[in-house]
Structure 1
C-alpha cells in the first residue's frame, strides 16, 4: 500500500469566501442547499394529485412553514447527537464548543431524532397526519444527505479505512497512506441510491396512499446503506470498534432498520387513508 498509487486529495478550500471575520464554508452551504432542495421537492410532491388518491396531505403552505421547524430539528438534533454519541468527554470539558457547528461535527442519527420531534410537534400544531409528514420528509431527506456527505469530503473528515484500491485518496489529515473515500460511498448509497428507490416507491407504486410506509422505507434503507458504508469508514479515533468489527454507526443503525421494517409492515396492512 503506497501513496504513489492513490489519488491526490482535490485542492478545495473548505472556506468558499472569507471577508474579515466572516467566512462562508462549503459545509454550511451543503446544509442550506439540502434543506432548500428538499423543501422544493416536497412542495412538488404535494401538488401532484395523482399520487395521493383520497389521502389527506399537507398544503404547499404547510410545507413552507414546516421547513423552519425541520431546520431547527436537524441542526439542534444533529449537533446534540454528535456531542452525546461521539465525543461527550471533550464537550464536557469544552462546553462552548458545542455551539461551534461551523467547525463540523453533526450526527445523522441525532438530526433524525430532532427532525422526528419537530414533525410530531408541527403535525399536532397544524392538525396534520404525522405519518404523511414523515413520508414526505423521508423521500426528500436523501437530497440533504447527499450534499452533507460531499461537504464531509471537502472538509477532509470522516474518511475511510486504509485501502490499496486505485481510487483511494490520501487525505490531508488522514495520515500518509491512501484511504477509502467513504464520504463519497455514503453520498452514493444514502443520497443517490436511496433517493431513486424512494422516488420509485412514491411515484410508481403510489405508496403515499399508505401513510408511514415510505418513512419506514427511508429508515430501513438509510440503516442498511450506512451499515454498508461503515465497512469502509474509519471509526472515530476516540471510540474505535465497539465489538469485533462493529462500529457506533452500525450500532445506531440497527434500531432504524428494525423500526423501519416494522413500520412498513404495519402500514402495508392498514386500509388506505381516506
Structure 2
C-alpha cells in the first residue's frame, strides 16, 4: 500500500500529497492555481479596501478605490515581471528580450510588484489630488491576502522550496533532489500572509494608526522585511545567484531598503497626524 511518507527517514514526499499546479483542465483551456492566486488576491484585497474606506476619515472615495484596482493590477504585473528581470536574471533577458513578456513561464518579483503598485498609487493620487501616503496605508492592509495566496500557490506548484533540513515536517521535493527540505513557502504564507494581516488589522481597527500617515505602510514594510529576511535562512537561494555579499541572498538584500524606509515611516508618522484631510463622503456622488 502506498504511503505518503518517504521510505527513508519517514519524511513526507511532495508528490504523494496529490497536488497539481493546474486547478481547471478542460483540454483546450487550463487555469493554474498561480493565476487564481493573483485573481483572488486582487479581488479580496479590493473587497477589503472598500471595507476600510467605508470608515470615517478615509483618504479616498469608492470611485478612487475602483480606479486604483485597475492601476494597481497593472503595477503588480508589470512591476513584478520587470523586477524579476532586473533583480534576478538581467543578462538572460537582455540576451533575448522577447522572453520578458512570457509571464506564463513564471518569474515574478514581489519587490518589483511593490514598486509597481507604489507608482500606480502615486499616479492615481496625483491625478485626483489625494494624499498618496495615506492611500499607501490603506492599500498596505490589503496586500497580505495576495502574499498568502501566492505563497500557497508556490507550494502547490512545488517550487521555491526550502534548504535541506531534518525537522519532522520537512518535505522531499523531487524537482530539487531527494533531500528533505523546509517547506519555506508555508513559512512565508504564515508570516507574510496571516501574521502580517492580523498585525495590520489590529493597528487599523483598534488604534489610531490610520490617522498617522505612513504608520501602516511602514509597519507593512518592516513586517514583510523581517519575515522575508528570516525565512530566507530556510529558503533555498536561486541557483543562478546563490548567496551574495555577507552570505545573504538576493531576497535578503532587497529587504534592507524596505526595513530602513519602514522604520523611518513609523518613527515620523505621528508628526504627520495633524495634516490628515479626509475625502468628503459627497465625493462618491460623482461616481
Q: TM-score, with normalisation over the residues of structure 2?
A: 0.90
Aligned pairs for 1:60-209 (under 5 A) are 60-209=62-211
Q: Secondary structure at the match of 1:271?
A: helix
Q: Equivalents in 2 of 1:262, 1:71: separation in Å? A: 27
Q: Equivalents in 2 of 1:19, 1:99: separation in Å? A: 25
Ranges in structure 1 where 5+ consecutive residues have no aligned partner: none
Ranges in structure 2 where 5+ consecutive residues have no aligned partner: 1-5, 278-287
Q: Equivalents in 2 of 1:3, 1:57: separation in Å? A: 57
Match of 1:44 in 2: 51
In the TM superposition, residue 94 of structure 1 has moved relative to its aligned partner by 3.2
Q: Equivalents in 2 of 1:18, 1:92: separation in Å? A: 34
2:40 maps to 1:26:
no
In the TM superposition, residue 87 of structure 1 has moved relative to its aligned partner by 1.4
Match of 2:3 in 1: none
Q: What's the C-alpha RMSD, in Å, of the aligned pairs?
A: 1.6
Q: Is the 8 A contact 1:185 1:229 kept in 2?
A: yes
Q: Equivalents in 2 of 1:22, 1:148: separation in Å? A: 21
Q: Is the 8 A contact 1:15 1:26 kept in 2?
A: yes
Q: Could you give the per-residue CA deviations for residues 126-179 of structure 1, whole angstroms, max 9, x where no partner exists? A: 121101110011111011110010111111111100011110111131111111
Q: Equivalents in 2 of 1:91, 1:2: separation in Å? A: 41
2:213 to 211, 214, 223: 211
Q: Is the 8 A contact 2:222 2:259 kept in 1?
A: yes
In the TM superposition, residue 3 of structure 1 has moved relative to its aligned partner by 4.9
2:7 maps to 1:5:
no
In the TM superposition, residue 103 of structure 1 has moved relative to its aligned partner by 2.4
In the TM superposition, residue 211 of structure 1 has moved relative to its aligned partner by 1.4
In the TM superposition, residue 24 of structure 1 has moved relative to its aligned partner by 0.6
Larger Rg: 2
Q: Equivalents in 1 of 2:119, 2:39: separation in Å? A: 20
Q: Is the 8 A contact 2:213 2:273 kept in 1?
A: no
Equivalent pairs counted in the alignment come to: 269
Distance 1:17 1:247, change over 3 A: same
Distance 1:181 1:65, change over 3 A: same
Q: Is the 8 A contact 1:3 1:176 kept in 2?
A: no
In the TM superposition, residue 104 of structure 1 has moved relative to its aligned partner by 1.9
Q: Could you give the per-residue CA deviations for residues 243-272 of structure 1, whole angstroms, max 9, x where no partner exists? A: 343111110001100000101111122233
Q: Secondary structure at the match of 2:31?
A: strand
Q: Is the 8 A contact 2:162 2:182 kept in 1?
A: yes
Ranges of 4+ aligned residues in structure 1 off by more than 3 Å: 1-4
Between 1:83-92 and 1:66-75, the stretch displaced more is 83-92
